[in-house]
Amino acid sequence: MNANARELAAGFDLEKLTGEFYADPYPTYRALREHEPVKRLPNGSWFLTRYDDLVSAYKSTKVFSSDKRREFLPKYGDSLLYEHHTTSLVFNDPPAHTRVRRLIMGALSPRAIAGMEPDLIALVDRLLDALAARDKVDLIADFAAAIPIEVIGNLLDVPMEEREPLRDWSLAILGALEPVISAEVFARGNKAVKDFLSYLEILVEGRRAKPGNPERDVLTRLIQGEDNGERLTEKELLHNCIFLLNAGHETTTNLIGNGLVALTAHPAQKKRLIENPEMIKTAVEEILRFESSNQLGNRMTTEPVELGGITLAAGTPVTLCIGAANRDPKQFSDPETLDIGRTPNRHLAFGTGAHQCAGMALARLEGAIAISRFLARFPHYALNGPPVRGGRVRFRGFLRVPCVVGEGRPTIETPC
């Protein structure tokens, strides 16, 4: 086992992953944490798996830069994908980052998020009614993915009848962030940015002419800027609207999907949550830790830095493996076990430091409402076929999860 773990760590290459890895990356992550926690990959970048190393990297924006202008140039060239990603909040350093983040955080205030709760409950209940009418459903398309797209649609006040393309645009743009991409994935991502920008230009023009309620409408808030006159440029505004949709869509879909699938594989935890619905908050945190929807983060060193006795040179790309850090036994007792009551639970699913997820309160609210109301309505839900994984290393989730909701009657559990 030890020799295998050593070999697994030694042979790890983020650009050559196997089907086995995509199905269950955690044995590899454990092997890396134990044997090569600061791992040099064949392409010259480094891969970190220890909790403490990730925290150090996240906390130092000076040494670990998020600015991707240099790194993305060979991958995207002078393309719209390049313009989009390098203008997104998450891929910038202070001071540009600080200014844009303040405007976005202002628009995602606790008050704005609390105000979304009634609409969110109504949306989830409508989806549950539709599931009940069909019995055999796809947990992703029919439920998990339908929630964040509507929430962000509401956030930006995108008219209902114009929301259909949003999900595909978002998946195409995020797909192009995978470590290795084909020409087709690149072209699809680029076209999605182009189409999305054309759509947003019209939406923003309309909103400038007829502003919405800035308390509820994040787009109006972003257009109007701060009281002190601080505003986003047109380019920043458009790309960060795209980024908000992307940041909040697949990640939250995966939280809901991963949670409902993980509970079928852990029936005792499922029963515990159904019998103790007040545990939903700790359960959501545990799902975020156990199957983090966003598994990888990226940084570039700006000066030589030492980690675990190894010195990384300035200008080295570093991947922060959230999925591995969230199972580090030095931080979490019994880390490979799903425990919906785990506390404390200082997971890194939302990152930490200056770039910590700006939408985490919203994601937590969506996860809690979706999962708790689903369990209350369909306590006997079960998978009725193998769930299909998304096949991505960065964003961990399912593409399809065939399920019978079995309203009011017991069905046989099918562990995934």
Interface residues toward ligand HEM, by CB under 6 A: 66, 89-90, 101, 104, 152, 244, 247-248, 251-252, 255, 293-294, 297, 349-351, 355, 357-359, 362-363
Shortest separation between residue 354's beta carbon and ligand HEM, angstroms: 6
In the complex with ligand HEM, the residue whose CB is nearer, 269 or 292, is: 292
CA distances from 32 to 180, 353, 396 (A): 21, 24, 19
In the complex with ligand HEM, the residue whose CB is nearer, 39 or 347, is: 347
In the complex with ligand HEM, the residue whose CB is nearer, 33 or 289, is: 289
Shortest separation between residue 145's beta carbon and ligand HEM, angstroms: 13
Strand blocks (E) in 108-166: 136-138
CB of 304 closer than 8 Å to CB of 64: no
Shortest separation between residue 397's beta carbon and ligand HEM, angstroms: 10
Q: If we measure between CA atoms, which residue out of 348, 356, 367, 357 comes closest to residue 295?
A: 348
Cα angle 395, 334, 356 (rounded to 5 degrees) comes to 40
Taking the mean position of all CA atoms in its chain, how far away is CA 285?
Answer: 14
Gap between the Cα atoms of 291 and 108, Å rounded: 25
In the complex with ligand HEM, the residue whose CB is nearer, 223 or 255, is: 255
Shortest separation between residue 273's beta carbon and ligand HEM, angstroms: 18
3-state SS, one letter per residue, for 211-274: CCCCCCCHHHHHHHCCCCCCCCCHHHHHHHHHHHHHHHHHHHHHHHHHHHHHHHHCHHHHHHHH
In the complex with ligand HEM, the residue whose CB is nearer, 132 or 399, is: 399
In the complex with ligand HEM, the residue whose CB is nearer, 251 or 264, is: 251
Gap between the Cα atoms of 116 and 119, Å rounded: 6
Which residue has the CB atom at the shortest distance from ligand HEM? 359
Shortest separation between residue 8's beta carbon and ligand HEM, angstroms: 25
CA-derived radius of gyration, the chain? 21
Shortest separation between residue 389's beta carbon and ligand HEM, angstroms: 17
